[in-house]
Amino acid sequence: MKLYFRLFLLLVVFFSTSVCIKPDLENGCDPRSKSYFTHFLVKNLANDQSASCVPYVDRSVSNFVSYGVFTFGSPAEVVTAAITRGKIYIAGLFDQIAATTGGGAFVWSETAKPVASTYCPQLDVFDETVSTYGTINQAVVDPEGNLYVLGKFTHIQGYPRRNLAKISPNCKLDQRFNANLNVSSTVFYDLIYLDGRIFFSGDFQTSNGAITNVPTTTFREHVASVNAITGLIDDWSPNVTGTDVRCMTTDGTFIYIGGGFTAVNSNGAGNIGKLHKDNGSTFYGMVDTNGTVNAIEVKDGILYVGGIFSSLNGGSFPRSKLAAIDLSTNTVTSIFSTLVISGNAVFDLKIYNDQLFVAGEISTPRPGIFKIDLLGNLQSSNYLLDGFSTNAYRLSIIDDKLFVFGTFETVQTLDRKYFFQVDIPSDKVTSFNPKLFNPNYDFQGIALKMKDQVIFLGGGFGSIDTSTRNYLVELDLYTGLPTDWEPNPNDMVTSLIATDNRLYLHGQFSLIDNTIRQSTAAYDLDTKSLLSWNPIFPAASIETMLYYQNSIYAAGNFTAVNSAPVNRIVKLDANSSSFDSSFASIPDATVRSLQIWNDELYIAGQFTTIPNASLHLAKLNPQTGSFIKTHTDSFSSNFSAYSIFVSDNRLIMSGQYQTTSPFTGNGLSFYSLPELTSIQTNGTLGTVSEFARTIDQNEDQIFLGGFIDNVAGQSRNGIFSLDRKSLTLNPWNPNFESGTGVRKIIYHQNAVYAFGNINNPNKRYRVGLVKIDPISANLY
C-alpha cells in the first residue's frame, strides 16, 4: 500500500509541475525542464538509484530484522512477550541483544546499523552442518553490482547454497547461479571476479573427493573457476600440489596465488604461483618462500606478499613475513629488507595510494596492524589494539576508508569489538561501528560497497548491532530494531502483559529503573515512567497475568500477596497495589493459564481441587472467584495443564497429561462452551511429555507453540497450526529444529510472532524470537 501511494505521489508531482514548464526548456539536469521531470519519473518508477543529477526518492518500506537474545556471549531464551502500540516487548534471561544476520550483513554506510528495508533484505547466512550461523571469508562485487560470497554456509535467505553464492543488486539470492559444491570439510579462502568468471581457492583437492557433480563429476586442485552467470564449473584446471591456496590477486591477465603448496602444474613451486586466466595448464616460474603465504597484493608491477616465511629463494633473501617481488624480472626487491615483524604471521595486506597496510598476528612494529610506505618506511600510525587479543586478520578499503576485522576489543581506547574503520586521509578511527557480536578469526572479514548507502560486511560475527539489554527489551514492531528504552531490571522478568497504555511486569528483580521493586512493576507506555503499582509477590511466583475490566488477574504458585495469605490466584486493582480480598478461590496447586469468555474466568494448571474437584481446569465467577463448573474427562496421567485458549465457543487445553475418556489422547483437549463437554478431534500430541505452552489465532488458523515433536502423527517441532473450523492439523510448518521450545505465540497484523528457545526455523539463524508468515510459514 505504501508503494502504490508513493507512486501515486510521483505521478501527481510530475503532471502538476510539467504543465507549468516552458516547452522550449529541455536541459535534463535543470529542475525547470520537462525532460528533467520525465527523467525523474522514469528513474523512480524503475527504482534506479544510480548517481545522477536527478534525485531518487526512496520508496522502500520497512523490513523486519530479527534480533536475538544472548547471555554471556551464548544464545539465550525469551520467556515472555507482549505486543502493543507498535512495539514488541520481550523478557527473559539475557544481557545482550543483536541482529541475527549470520556471517554476512548489510549495513547503512553512515550509521553502520543493519538495513531494515525491502531496499536491501538481510542474507541470513546459515550453516546446517553445525546448526548455527554461517561465516563469510571473502566476497567480491562485479561491474553490474552483483555480490559473490565465499565461506562456510549451507543456506542463504533460507535457500540451499553451499559455500559459494551470488547476490543480486537488490540484495536477494540470484537463484540462477549455483556452483553445486559438494559437501566436504573444505576451507574456502579467496575469490576474484574476472571477465565473467569467478575464480576461488581453498584446500580442496582430489583426495578429498569431487568438488562438484554438476554438470559432471569434477575434481580440482586448490583453485577453480565457475561461470559468473550460472555458477557451473568450467575447464580451467591448474594442478596445484600441496596444502592449500589461501590468497589470490590479478593484474587482469595473470592470477597470482599464495598459500602452502610445493608445485604448480607438476613443476616445483614454493608457496607463490602465477596462472593465466584462460590457460591454467602453463607453468610460470616464480620466487619461492620458506613458509606459507597468506596475502598478496599487486601494484605497478610489484607483487607484495605476506605470511609466515623468513626468507625467499632458498634463503637468499631474508625477509620477516613481508616481501616485494618485481614481476618484470621475477626478483626479490630490497624493500622491507630491514623490517622486523615479531609475532606469528602476516594475514592480510591492502594498498592505498603509496601506503601499505599490514595486518596479522603480530606484536611489533605495532600490535595487530601497522602502516608502511611502498619503499619500506614504517609510518607513525599506531592504532593501539587491545582486549581479548591484539590480532587483526582481514582488511578492506572502500573509497577512503579502511575496514579492519580481528579479535581485538578496543582501538586507541575506543570500544570497537572485533572491527574498526579508519578514515585514511586523516588517519582517524571513525564512529562507524556495526557492533559485531563475535570475533573474526584467520581469514574471516570483508567489506564491500554493495550499492548506494549500503555496505556489505562478511565475517565470522554471526550477529551485529550488539547492545547491552538486561532481561527486558522494547523493539520496533515494523523494523525489529531495539529502541533506546532501557528499564534495566537487575534480574529476570518472567511474566508481562500489555494494555493500551500500560505494561505490567513480574519476575525475580528487586530493582528496575534504579527504583526498588519487589518482583512486580508497571510502566506508563506514553511516558515510559515507572508507576507506583507494586503488589508484593514472591520472586518468579506468577505464571500468567490477565487484564479484564480494570483488574489484573495474576496466577501461579504463590501463597501470599502483600504479606497476606492468597492461594495461587488473585484479583488486583490495575491502578493501585491492593488486591480484592472478596475474590476467594483456593486451588490446591499451581495455576498456569487464564482466559475470560462470556464474563466467566477459566483457569488451568496443576491443581486437582478448587476446593471443588477440578482436575486441571475450572470455570470461575470473575468477581468472587467462586467455582462454577469443570469438565468430566478421565486422565490416566495427570501432571499439569499449561495453556487454555477460547476459539469459536470452544476451549482448547494443553498440558502434560493423558486423556482416557471420553476420547483418548496426549496433552491436547477440546471442550464446547459453556458446557465444557469434550469434543473429539483428529489428532493429539505424540507423547504425554509434550504440551503447548501458548495459543493464538487468526481468521483461519489456531497457532500453538510449546515443547512439541509430533502432532497427529506428523513431525512438528515447537510450533504447529490447526484449522480453525475443523481443529485438524494444517500443513503450515516453519520447520523449527528439534529441541525448540516456544513459550509465547502472538498473532498480530498478519504475522505470527514466536518467542522462546528458538532453533533455526527454515534454515535461518534465529535466537529467541522469530516473525513468520501465517500462510507460507516463511520467515521475515
pLDDT digits (tens, 9 = 90+) for 684-729: 899 999 999 999 999 999 999 999 999 999 999 999 999 999 999 9
Which CATH architecture best describes the domain 189-338?
Answer: 6 Propeller (2.120)
Confidence of residue 41 (pLDDT cuts 50, 70, 90): low
What does the pLDDT read at residue 212? 97
CA 114 to CA 479: how far, in whole Å? 10
Phi-psi region of 242 (alpha: psi -120 to 50; beta: other; left: phi over 0): left
**Predicted pLDDT at 54:** 54
The closest of 552, 553, 537 to 604, measured between CA atoms, is 553
How many residues does this entry show for the chain? 780
| Position 5 pLDDT exceeds 70 | no
Grid coordinates of 456: 556489505
Residue 25 has pLDDT above 60, yes or no: no
- Would you state the pLDDT for residue 117? 84
Q: Is the pLDDT of residue 395 over 90?
A: yes
Residue linked to cell 498473532 = 747
pLDDT (0 to 100) of residue 388: 84
Cell of 252: 587482469
| Residue listed under C-alpha cell 493423558 | 658
Percentage above 90 pLDDT, the chain: 90
Q: Give the pLDDT confidence of 121-132 residue by residue, as tens digits.
A: 999 999 999 999
pLDDT for 43 beyond 60: no
Q: What is the pLDDT at residue 2? A: 41
**In this predicted model, what pLDDT tens digit does every residue of 546-575 receive, in sequence order?**
999 999 999 999 999 999 999 999 999 999
Residue 284, C-beta contacts closer than 8 angstroms, at least 6 positions apart: 254, 273, 274, 275, 276
Q: Which residues contact 447 (CB under 8 A, 6 or more apart)?
A: 396, 398, 403, 455, 456, 457, 458
Q: What was the pLDDT predicted at 1?
A: 40
Mean pLDDT of 639-665: 96
Q: How confident is the model at residue 57 (pLDDT cuts 50, 70, 90)?
A: very low
Average pLDDT for residues 49-64, to the nearest whole number?
56
DSSP SS3 for 762: helix
pLDDT band at residue 28 under the 50/70/90 scheme: low
DSSP structural state of residue 112: -
What average pLDDT does this structure show over 15-29?
A: 52
Q: What is the pTM of this model?
A: 0.90
- Residue 191 is placed in which grid cell? 575469490
- Give the single-character DSSP code of 377: P
Using pLDDT thresholds of 50, 70 and 90, give the confidence band for residue 452. Answer: confident
**End-to-end Cα distance, the chain:** 18
DSSP secondary-structure letter at 206? G
pLDDT tens-digit map of 571-623: 999 999 999 999 999 999 999 999 999 999 999 999 999 999 999 999 999 99
Q: Where are the domains of the chain?
A: 2-45, 101-187+449-462, 189-338
Average pLDDT, the chain: 93
Least confident residue range of 36-50, 202-216, 408-422: 36-50
Higher per-residue pLDDT: 119 or 674? 674
Q: Could you write out the three-class secondary structure of 147-182?
A: EEEEEECCEECCEECCCEEEECCCCCECCCCCCCEC
**47 pLDDT band (50/70/90 cuts)?**
very low
